[in-house]
Structure 1
Amino acid sequence: MSSSPALAAGAASHRAQDQRAQRLRTRIAIAVFAVLTVSLALVPAATSNISFAFYLMLWITMASAMNICVGFTGYLPFGYVVFYGVGAYATGICYKILGWPILPSLLAAGGTGVAIALLLAPTLRLRGVYFGIVSLALATIVKLVISNLPQSLTGGSMGIILSNANNPAHSYYAMLAVMGATLAVVTWLSASGLGRALKAIRDDDGAAACVGIHVPNTRLKAWLLAALFPALAGGIEAWYTNVVDPEYAFHVLITAKSIIYAMAGGFGTVLGPVAGTLALLGIDHLIWQKFPVVNLLLLGLIIVLLMLFLPRGIVGSLIKRKPQLRRYIA
């Protein structure tokens, strides 16, 4: 009995240390993201290479949103591109067909992505590869439904041209805002009760339910957040490029890149998707400039080597090799 107060004091001390470490990690993540955001905000005035910076922000958004789904819940959605695609089409239809201003059209893109996520929510009852395959099948169905809508609405095989919508500077800063919001949500999740509940479900949903976590509702919250940001990104890219391409909008490569960039940095970490995207997209850009003919071959080789020697990703492997770094970058 005399040991009970000591055990309680030890547990309280351990919780206090965890809380201090979490606050430190959050502050470091905020500082890193603030520097990244400010640096990208200065790009249009400092260089003509806006396109690379725009797509860097887009893929950081996609990889970080994928991290919400995979890193926090353990679900790997092979049909993730569906949110990006419906966001692009919602923007195109609202702007070109309905005549809405661009901002409400982008908000409609986000709302459409969340609505599709709600429709697909029953698939969250599945696990592992079954969930991945079903999500891919449903994404294909959504693509077929959109492609069979009246051509006057979707533009058919030609897609939708957003005439007079193109404004590189405005769409650039819109993507910057969405990237910032995505990173803010991931940082908040990592330190919040919701984030801890999601990780508990990811590790053992049965045990999580036993301690009072409402598993279906908690998963659904993460699923909706993971759908919102790619839908907004799809809408903003349609604005940036002035076109909704039916082949590209639902291309499986969008899902693959989101997974690869997040995995390269480390799923389940706050900084991982950012580090992975910066590394691989930067390498891809440099290789393309030097070796345009074989850039995909070389990039593929680099990704294979990265997965072989850093299987937990850049940030995840750093934490494994230097456990003390968990205090700063987990």
Structure 2
Amino acid sequence: MTDQIQETREGTGVPMSAPQENTEKSSHIKFLIWGIVVAAIVAVFLPAPLFASNLSFLFYMMLWITMATSFNFVAGLAGYMPFGYVAFYGIGAYATGVLYKTFGLPIPVALAGAALAGVTIGLLVAPTLRLKGVYFGIVSLALAMAMKLVISLMPSDITGGSLGLILSAANDPVAAYYAMFVVLMGALAAGTWLTMSRLGTALRAIRDDSEAAEVVGVNVVGTRLKAWIMATMFPALVGGVEAWYTNAIDLDSSFNLLVTAKSIVYAMAGGLGFLVGPIIGASTLYGIDQLIWRHFPTLNLLILGVVIIALMLLLPRGIVGAFAQRFSRLRRFIP
């Protein structure tokens, strides 16, 4: 053999062809780049409480990165667009508040309960995953409205009624900040598993053509369900931690559709289907949002809307997607 690679896989004795070697090399480079991105996130957010006097900006940046990342699990990988994504955020907030304030459980247990509540609701509505396109989006939006109504009809001595719940006794901004950091790291770890494993390949196959994926042996239902569970657990945790950080929970803020809108916009602005897409999109647009708010508070939404429209028109595939399209040879290295 002259043009074939003579190397073999370690311990197997099986010859490795040039395409196989190139694929493994690109995978290693992609994983290395992703490792650098995660290390940078840790370096920025982990020591921040030691130096920053106001943690709010970094706290909410972590919140939106997590929301956009978990949204990417179901939209970027599985091809679903849940317009009612705020339902799980609101469920997590109220589960945390009720378990802590009403039943007297410690915050860590309440947050675990929030994650369980999000997953439980996700499993209950999992049969709707058989729907496609806008139909699934409408059903998920109806879910958010239904959950808000259900909580509003519950006894006020449990959910706080129209006044909501106040968690002032649990006030600990630094602890809540680190809890959000842990949730963010968990979302990034889950994203790594979903994207870089065989499961990610199966999800992308289902997204592109579910019938063809089923023909070649992919368990369509089970694979979709794994991504869906991840996509419901993390927003519930985010809602719970944010409730702990602000010490206040009410129906309007917990089930505000703007939460869904921002999750969608931030994820799409970065680039759906890429691990780094939601990170870049959320950090960039949230930074722009805060900058506009600081200098033009009365025109904040108008200017931000113009920025988002311009971004969608100029970069319809998102920042990372546009880069991958422009430099197609580098696409295989983008995590």
Q: TM-score scaled to structure 2, two decimals?
A: 0.93
Give the letter for the 1:309 counterpart. Answer: L
Partner residue of 1:273 out of 256, 278, 281: 278
- Do structure 1's residue 189 and structure 2's residue 203 form an aligned pair? no
Aligned partners of 1:251 and 1:259: how far apart in 2?
Answer: 14
Q: Is the 8 A contact 2:73 2:231 kept in 1?
A: yes
- Do structure 1's residue 264 and structure 2's residue 265 form an aligned pair? no
TM-superposed CA distance for 1:11, in Å, is: 9.9
Equivalences, count: 322
Give the letter for the 2:52 counterpart. Answer: T
Give the letter for the 1:37 counterpart. Answer: V
Aligned partners of 2:16 and 2:308: how far apart in 1?
Answer: 42
Q: Is the 8 A contact 1:26 1:187 kept in 2?
A: no
Question: What residue in structure 2 maps to residue 132 of structure 1?
Answer: 137
Q: TM-score scaled to structure 1, two decimals?
A: 0.95
Partner residue of 1:99 out of 104, 107, 124: 104
Partner residue of 2:115 out of 110, 117, 120: 110
Question: What residue in structure 1 maps to residue 214 of structure 2?
Answer: 209
Identity of aligned residues (%): 54
Partner residue of 1:159 out of 155, 164, 172: 164
Question: What residue in structure 2 maps to residue 5 of structure 1?
Answer: none
Aligned partners of 2:105 and 2:15: how far apart in 1?
Answer: 60
TM-superposed CA distance for 1:325, in Å, is: 2.3
Question: What residue in structure 2 maps to residue 145 of structure 1?
Answer: 150
1:171-207 CA-to-partner distances (Å, cap 9, x unmatched) read 0000011001111211222210111100000000001
| Cα RMSD after superposing both structures | 1.5
Question: What residue in structure 1 maps to residue 230 of structure 2?
Answer: 225
Aligned partners of 2:330 and 2:292: how far apart in 1?
Answer: 31
Equivalent residues in 2 for 1:278-297 (5 A)? 278-297=283-302
Aligned partners of 1:15 and 1:202: how far apart in 2?
Answer: 25
1:41-70 CA-to-partner distances (Å, cap 9, x unmatched) read 122121212000000000000000000010
Moved more, 252-261 or 13-22: 13-22
Q: Secondary structure at the match of 1:269?
A: coil
Partner residue of 1:44 out of 44, 49, 54: 49
Q: Is the 8 A contact 1:83 1:227 kept in 2?
A: yes
Q: Structure 2 regions of 5+ residues with no counterpart?
A: 1-13
Could you say if the C-alpha distance between residues 221 and 161 of structure 1 is closer, same or farther in structure 2, counting changes exceeding 3 Å?
same
Q: Secondary structure at the match of 1:213?
A: coil
1:97-156 CA-to-partner distances (Å, cap 9, x unmatched) read 010000000000001000000001010010000000011112211211111011111001
Q: Is the 8 A contact 1:24 1:327 kept in 2?
A: no
- Do structure 1's residue 200 and structure 2's residue 170 form an aligned pair? no
Q: Structure 1 regions of 5+ residues with no counterpart?
A: 1-8
Question: What residue in structure 2 maps to residue 307 of structure 1?
Answer: 312
Question: What residue in structure 2 maps to residue 54 of structure 1?
Answer: 59
Q: Secondary structure at the match of 1:294?
A: helix
